């Protein structure tokens, strides 16, 4: 039994934390110890008497997540083997070879080589395909995203040998790449729209996000920017502290940002310190159903302080705060320790049932099926959780943050042909092939608008339809004509991304994105600052 003791200690420590959540302050400490001894006794019984040979380590690894599911949807167990990868997205860098890739047709396709990174230094190019890794074939079913990450990432200073298939080359090209620190950017698109409005797309709240934000804002300030569009759509959150720093830039001294409170964590209130340089700058925040956690903290404080306008769709609804606890074996738990509350006093955590995760996980799908993405009237707010902003505007708790201006998802020209072309990744595959075949001529274009003019003069729709037909998506003339604009825009967007990268891709998408266009309209009309309800009624 001794060999299991380190792992058992981890389990007992976790159970001790969890039991502490359930017991009230009046219950005796003896009950806690009794529960721990009972679990200890069970483990001894299983180890000493069970009919078959078993791995106690495996049992414990499988038990840890099950215990946490009895608490809430966001308390999670992270095995030691997954901890580094889990934390990587919130770090400012990782050690690797410096490429972005996708898996297509069971092969790693490089769609971007990070400038000044290890791969760029040895001559890898966008469009290259990785065929071998360290002289071993790496294609086929074993070529998954996770497997590629494991093979390409590694300690700084170590080498990896790649066999590369390059368009136009008959033989494999071999490159030996020395891994190095690769910066991770959480703001990949920041630019000025119409010479007035600074647009910032924040993918996540990582440890370097605030620094990236300040660089973008400084550039906007230098250019004489008149207002900010903060795009948090699809942003699942990250470090709360980073969200607080970012919100501080737009709030006046002593404006409340957020407060947190839990059974074992006393109320902690966070206020703006008044040092922000954009306290008077008009701001619009874009949200959707995938905006969660730290995104909701940022949007919530802007809304409750009547500091700016929220545009888009209702956010995810995560109002729980997790704290990481690491164990000696390298594993960890992220345990919910408190709820966070926006300045009006609302917790926007959506309902959940302990021990039942499926309904919670299906919430976004259920919203779609109820028509919430298409009609604001389909959204049912909890009338028992009504709060007021500083100006007296009504806001609701218990289910995400409802935007001030709702923008529906437009499905007018969507057909089954277009949906299948997307879901089967045929548009993306076609665009990768086209980009590879025309990379030399397309590389002469430096901006999305100059490339777009060239692409619009090519018979891309016809070429795609023929390609898709060869892949089993049969031609349907009426559907193709109805979805023509959507298909062409998807083709142009993918090729622009393949050749010019994320920033130019986002610039092109935003020219017809209805939520961005609504944000620009609100800023142009000088309506970014909310007004009191009676003033709204008077103006109407």
Write out the catalytic residue numbers. 293, 304, 318
From residue 129, alpha-carbon distances to 44, 173, 320, 365, 439 in Å are: 53, 10, 42, 35, 14
Buried b (16+ CB within 10 A) or exposed e, 341-357: bbbbebbbbbebeeeee
Per the CB < 8 A criterion, the answer to whether 143 and 102 are in contact is no
Q: What are phi and psi of 167, to 5 degrees?
A: -60, 130
What's the rounded Cα separation, in Å, for the pair 351 and 360? 8
Closest CA to 447 of 496, 516, 491: 496
Instruction: Provide the H-helix boundaries in 249-381.
Output: 294-304, 358-361, 363-370
Q: List the structure tokens of 208.
A: 């370097």
Per the CB < 8 A criterion, the answer to whether 44 and 1 are in contact is yes
The enclosing H or E element of 133 equals: strand 129-133
The residues near 354 (Cβ < 8 Å, ≥ 6 apart) are: 69, 70, 71, 72
Q: Whose structure tokens read 């920041």?
A: 190
Which residues are paired to 311 by β-bridges?
286, 405
Closest CA to 509 of 39, 193, 160: 193
Instruction: Provide the H-helix boundaries in 92-191.
Output: 118-122, 145-152
The residues near 454 (Cβ < 8 Å, ≥ 6 apart) are: 442, 445
The enclosing H or E element of 105 equals: none
Q: List the structure tokens of 95.
A: 């050690």
Angle between helix axes 416-423 and 426-437 (nearest 10 degrees) is 60
Q: How many CB atoms lie within 10 A of CB 170?
A: 6
HSE-up (13 A, CA, CB side) for residue 59: 13
Q: Whats the size of the chain, residue-wise?
A: 540
What's the rounded Cα separation, in Å, for the pair 487 and 491? 6
Per the CB < 8 A criterion, the answer to whether 489 and 460 are in contact is no
């Amino acid at each position: 039994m001794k060999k299991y003791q380190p792992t058992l200690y981890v389990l007992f420590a976790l159970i001790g934390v969890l039991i502490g959540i359930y017991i009230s302050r009046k219950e005796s400490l003896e009950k806690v110890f009794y529960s721990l001894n009972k679990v200890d006794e069970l483990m001894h019984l299983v180890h000493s008497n069970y009919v078959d040979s078993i791995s106690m380590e495996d049992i414990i690894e499988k038990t840890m997540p099950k215990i946490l599911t009895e608490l809430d949807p966001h308390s999670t167990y992270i095995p030691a083997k997954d901890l580094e990868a889990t934390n990587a997205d919130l770090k400012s860098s990782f050690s690797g070879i410096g490429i972005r890739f996708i898996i297509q047709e069971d092969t790693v396709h490089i769609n971007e080589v990070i400038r000044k990174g290890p791969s760029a230094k040895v001559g890898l190019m966008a469009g290259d395909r990785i065929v071998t890794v360290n002289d071993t074939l790496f294609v086929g079913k074993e070529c998954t995203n996770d497997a590629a990450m494991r093979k390409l990432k590694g300690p700084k200073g170590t080498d990896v040998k790649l066999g590369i298939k390059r368009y136009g080359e008959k033989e494999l090209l071999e490159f030996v790449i020395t891994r190095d620190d690769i910066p991770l950017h959480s703001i990949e698109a920041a630019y000025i729209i119409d010479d007035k409005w600074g647009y910032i797309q924040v993918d996540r709240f990582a440890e370097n996000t605030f620094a990236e934000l300040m660089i973008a804002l400084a550039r906007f300030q230098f250019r004489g920017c008149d207002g900010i569009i903060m795009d948090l759509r699809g942003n699942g959150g990250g470090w709360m502290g980073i969200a607080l720093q970012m919100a501080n830039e737009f709030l006046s001294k002593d404006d409340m940002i957020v407060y947190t409170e839990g059974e074992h964590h006393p109320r902690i209130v966070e206020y703006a310190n008044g040092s922000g340089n954009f306290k008077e700058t008009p701001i619009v925040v874009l949200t959707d159903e995938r905006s969660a956690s730290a995104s909701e903290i940022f949007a919530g404080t802007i809304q409750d302080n009547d500091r700016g306008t929220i545009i888009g769709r209702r956010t995810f609804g995560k109002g729980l705060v997790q704290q990481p606890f690491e164990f000696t074996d390298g594993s960890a738990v992220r345990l919910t320790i408190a709820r966070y509350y926006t300045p009006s006093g609302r917790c926007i955590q959506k309902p959940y049932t302990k021990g039942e995760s499926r309904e919670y996980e299906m919430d976004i799908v259920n919203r779609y099926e109820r028509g919430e993405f298409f009609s604001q009237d389909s959204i049912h707010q909890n009338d028992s959780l009504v709060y007021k902003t500083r100006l007296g505007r009504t806001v609701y708790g218990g289910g995400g943050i409802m935007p001030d201006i709702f923008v529906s998802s437009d499905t007018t020209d969507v057909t089954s042909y277009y949906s299948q072309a997307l879901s089967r990744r045929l548009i993306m595959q076609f665009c990768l092939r086209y980009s590879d075949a025309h990379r030399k001529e397309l590389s002469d274009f430096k901006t999305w608008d100059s490339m777009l003019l060239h692409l619009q003069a090519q018979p891309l729709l016809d070429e795609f339809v023929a390609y898709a037909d060869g892949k089993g998506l049969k031609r349907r003339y009426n559907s193709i004509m109805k979805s023509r604009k959507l298909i062409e825009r998807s083709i142009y967007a993918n090729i622009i991304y393949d050749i010019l990268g994320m920033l130019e891709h986002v610039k092109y998408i935003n020219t017809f994105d209805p939520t961005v266009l609504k944000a620009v309209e609100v800023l142009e009309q000088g309506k970014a600052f909310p007004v009191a309800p009676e003033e709204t009624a008077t103006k109407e």
